[in-house]
Amino acid sequence: MCPDDQHDGGEDEKAGEKVKRLFEFECPLCSANNPYDDGFGAGDEVRCYYCGSEFRCSIDDMTGKPKYREH
């Protein structure tokens, strides 16, 4: 046991938004996998390099998974 080494072990309980960065997305239209080296997050727009469609990313509150809405 090493008490100094461990902060409280609980999950973060930050109030408010949690910022999640993603570094790839799967196109809902053509299922192409698009790597994003710069990363993106909820509210950002992403573009499928394969079919050229653009989407706005959001994070589903229930599942925590990213969703993409065509725009």
Residues in contact with Zn ion by CB under 5 A are 27, 29-30, 32, 48, 50-51
Q: Are 68 and 54 in contact (CB under 8 A)?
A: no
- Closest distance between Zn ion and the C-beta of residue 29, in Å? 5
Nearer to Zn ion (CB atom), residue 51 or residue 67:
51
- Closest distance between Zn ion and the C-beta of residue 66, in Å? 15
What number of helices (H) and strands (E) belong to the chain? 0, 5
Beta strand 45-47 with 54-59 is antiparallel
- Closest distance between Zn ion and the C-beta of residue 70, in Å? 10
